[in-house]
Structure formats: C-alpha cells, structure tokens
Structure 1
Amino acid sequence: MRVTLLGTGTALPTGDRYQSGALVESADRSRRILVDCGSGVLHRLADTDAGYESVDAVLLTHTHLDHVADLPSLVKARVLSGVSELEIVGPNGTDETLDHLLAVDNVQERADLTVREVGPGQFDAAGFQMRACEADHSVQTLGYRFDDDGSDTETDGITFSGDTRATESVAELADGSSVLVHDCAHPDGEGGGDHASPSELAGTLAGRNIDTVYLTHLYPGTRGKEGAMVAAVEGRFDGDVKVALDRESFEV
C-alpha cells in the first residue's frame, strides 16, 4: 500500500498543515480510500497522482468538523466531474452528520452516495480489509487498521488512531503494524484533554511491535518542540518516531 498524508494539522490554521486527511492506495493503485476529509484536504488530494475523481470511499474516524469539513466540496467536485458515486463509512452519527453537511447546495441529492456506519470489529471498504477499535475522544471515534494480506514480514499494514487520548485499545490494534499514525496534539504539560501527549503515548506503545510511529494532529503550540516530543516517545518505544508532514508519502 501507498499512504499519502494530506493533512496533519487541527482546527487552528497554521498555513503549512491542513486539517486531517490521508490517502491510502492499494499496491497496484487500483483502489483508493480517503481517511478523513478536513478543510484543505480536497486541494491536497487534487495535487496527487490519484486526484479526487479516483477515490473509491471515504473513511471517517469521527465527525468533528476538522475531519469532515471538505466532504461537501469533495462530493460536489466529483458530481461536477461526472463521478457521482461514493461510499462514506464512519462511526455512529455519520449518517446524521452528512445530512447536515450535504444539505448545502443540495449536494446530497445530486450525488449517488452510500453511507455505512460501522463499529469495532472487522469490515471491508473499497476492497480493503480492515479492523476498527474504540478510541477515547469527546465524540465517538474509531481507530482503523488496514491489513496487508500479501505481506510475509513480521509487521504489516497501517493503523490510524483518529483523535484520541493514549489508549490500550488503539495500541493493541496497532501492535504488529508497519506504521501507526497517531494523534499527538500537544507537547507534554500543554493542552491535553481529548488528545494524547508524547509521554502518555510512549506509555501505551511500550513493548508494542510497530516499525514506525508518525505523530500527527499537531496544534500550533507544537512548533519548535517537535524534537522533544519525538524524544519523549522514543524514551519508551523501540521503533522509529517521526513527525508527520503534509504531502508526505510512504509505502507500507
């Protein structure tokens, strides 16, 4: 699989980080799924080789605005391009949220949408096999793991935490992943609340078999403190730790 991080920021604009979104493509590039669709993600998606017309499904971790704001624009752009079909998958509340979001400009009536709500467990979307777990945020949030059935390595696939505190459920889901993209919104001692801090994340990841962790959903207050955040996670976690960047692509 190829993963492109389209947005690694939050609801507070910084100019260099758009809101949450990532593109996951199958190894042969025949299947594509968008994970979250915050503000700016549509423009980032338009800059990829895939473009917005070729996305087969959108997978939402939760329904906060910085994860869904570009959905109406994505759906309308596809309709205007002659691609009206799209599947949208997310936790409970997704259907109701879309009714509100897509009422603007009658977008929902102009598109051919399939909306599916899922919970923890196994399911598939756009031909991808995945598993979901409950995360710990202020609204119902799911973490997702994409499994790579063709891998013969010790670790495989990629896990997205969604917005969440550091939890054993997400760490367990990610155990054995090649990559974990995890919320780490604030440096230690700042912010907190519904998001993971570096030290808290390090504690849940200690002993887990994950090759690389990308710290994402970074608030403006993390600027200049990224090195200390990485060091805090590396203090208890044996894998590589990186700060996620918009437009960054990697193979899983």
Structure 2
Amino acid sequence: MLLRLIFLGTGSIIPTSQRFSSGILLEANNGLRILLDMGPGVLEKLRRIGVDPGSISIILITHLHLDHVSDLLPFIKLKALSGRRLFRVFGPRGIGEMLDLLVSDRRLFGYLSDLGCRDIVEIHEVWDDVLELEPGIILRSKPVEHFNGVAYRIDLPSTSITYSGDTAPDPRLIELARGTSILIHECSFPADRLKGKHTSAEGLMRIASEVRPRILVLTHIYPEMEERLQEYLERFRKKLGMIVYAPRDLDTIEV
C-alpha cells in the first residue's frame, strides 16, 4: 500500500509565514483518507490542495487543545451541509462529551443539531486500545504526558506510522512506537527554552535513538525552535543515522 503524508499544519498556535497549527492528512492508494488532528487552518489547507472534506472518513484527535481540535466543529457542519455520510472521530476521553455539549447546548452551538451534525459523527473514545480501522489497518493508542492526550500508531499492510501529538517524553510513547517505520513526533523547543508538557530537540533525540524508526519527522515547531532548526536537523542526522524531515506546511512525504 502506497502512502502520502500531507502536512497541513506543522507549527503551534502561533502562526508564522511557514507554519500554523497541527494537522496531517494521510492518503493511501486505496482511497482511504485519515486526518490526524484538526487545528485552525486545516480546512483552508484542504481547500488549497484540492481535497474534498467529504472524502475524509476518519479523524484522529490527540487531545482537546485548540491548536489540535478547533477546525473539527466547522468540519462537521460542512459535512452536514453537504449531505455527507457518517464518518468516524477517534479521540481521548472527553471528546464525546465535548462534541455533545457544543452541538446540543443552545447556549453554545445548539443550532448545529438542527442540521443533523451530531447524527453524522460516530465518536470513539480511545485510551490504551487496539482496534481495526479498516480490513488490514490497525489503530493502536496510548495515553501520553500532555493534558489527557493520546498518541496513535497506524499499522498498514506495508508500513506503520506513529504520531505523538503533544507530549513530554513518555515511556508509553516509546513502547507504542517501537518498530514503527515512520515516527512523527513533536519537537517544540530547544532544551534551554522548553516550556510546558512538550518535548525538546534533545529529548526527541533520546526517544528516536530508542525507537529507531526508518524515518523521523519533526513537527509542532515553535518559533524558538525554528530559529535553530537547521542546526538541529544536522545534529539529528549525524547522531541518529536515519532519514529526518522537518516539513513545513503543505510539504508532502511519500512512502
């Protein structure tokens, strides 16, 4: 199975000329399209690359922070207005309650229920789980150290992809990712400017040296990291001896 990863958003909540909030489109040559996170700007990026949102049948949300989930509600409304069929949303504990509240509570966006928005979404809350997305495609999830967050691993017939979402270095993520072909991991800051429950470049080097993916992809890059990105890419490649990418928004990797 041939795959294409289109990086719709590779930065943080702070927009720059090259990066904005999180979103990755996975396309398989059998027609399957999966969205990994839906931060602000993802819908517009889909329009820019000519992808019909109606063609996306699965969305994986890593956690409920705005820079990973804020385009989900507009996406659901667009699908409802277009008369599209049922689609599946996977996310951490609380995503079902969040969507039910936003769609059904008249003090918020309850008018969306009149459009049938809730009826077209099949919600699956995941934590430490293994399930079959499609025949031959397995989804695994593990909780990680970031505000009720989960990481995902997608095992396909010819390859595997692990996506960290946001997380501090976490042994559960390493366990999930061992043997994966492609590790997409946040690399928010240099170690001397690290903030919050995130992973520094130095921390990611240690993680990648344990996981040993064939391809390492750095994402969720803050401006502080961007300033030293080329320096760190050279260090990653020299130390790890693997293929390392730091894609900008709308960059594509084919595997």
TM-score by shorter chain over 0.5: yes
* Matched residue, 1:148: 156
List runs of 5+ in structure 2 lacking aligned partners. Answer: none
Matched-pair identity in %: 32
Q: 1:196 to 1:50 in 2, by over 3 A?
A: same
Structure 1 position 101, deviation (Å): 3.8
* Matched residue, 1:65: 66
Counterpart residue type for residue 90 of structure 2: V
- 1:189 is paired with a residue whose SS is helix
* Matched residue, 2:246: 243
Please report the RMSD computed on the Cα atoms of aligned residues, expressed in angstroms: 1.9
Instruction: Give the Cα–Cα distance (whole angstroms) in 1 for the partners of residues 253 and 131 of structure 2.
Output: 24
Q: 1:74 to 1:203 in 2, by over 3 A?
A: same
Q: 1:7 to 1:101 in 2, by over 3 A?
A: farther
* Matched residue, 2:43: 42
> Contact (CA 8 Å) 2:174, 2:210: kept in 1 or not?
no
* Matched residue, 2:145: 136
Structure 1 position 80, deviation (Å): 1.9
Aligned length: 245
Structure 1 position 133, deviation (Å): 1.5
Matches within 5 A, 1:1-252: 1-29=3-31, 31-102=32-103, 103-104=108-109, 106-109=111-114, 110-111=116-117, 112-125=120-133, 128-137=137-146, 139-149=147-157, 151=158, 156-234=159-237, 236-252=239-255
Structure 1 position 105, deviation (Å): 5.8
Counterpart residue type for residue 53 of structure 2: Y
Q: 1:194 to 1:108 in 2, by over 3 A?
A: farther
Instruction: Give the Cα–Cα distance (whole angstroms) in 1 for the partners of residues 111 and 133 of structure 2.
Output: 26
Instruction: Give the Cα–Cα distance (whole angstroms) in 2 for the partners of residues 194 and 251 of structure 1.
Output: 30
Instruction: Give the Cα–Cα distance (whole angstroms) in 2 for the partners of residues 178 and 11 of structure 1.
Output: 28
Pick the structure with more helix per residue.
Answer: 2
Counterpart residue type for residue 140 of structure 2: R
Structure 1 position 126, deviation (Å): 5.3
Structure 1 position 235, deviation (Å): 5.2
TM-score, structure 2 normalization: 0.88
After TM superposition, which residue ranges in structure 1, 4 or more long, deviate above 4 angstroms? Answer: none
Per-residue CA deviation, residues 68-92 of structure 1 (Å, 9 max, x unaligned), is 1011111111222221522111110
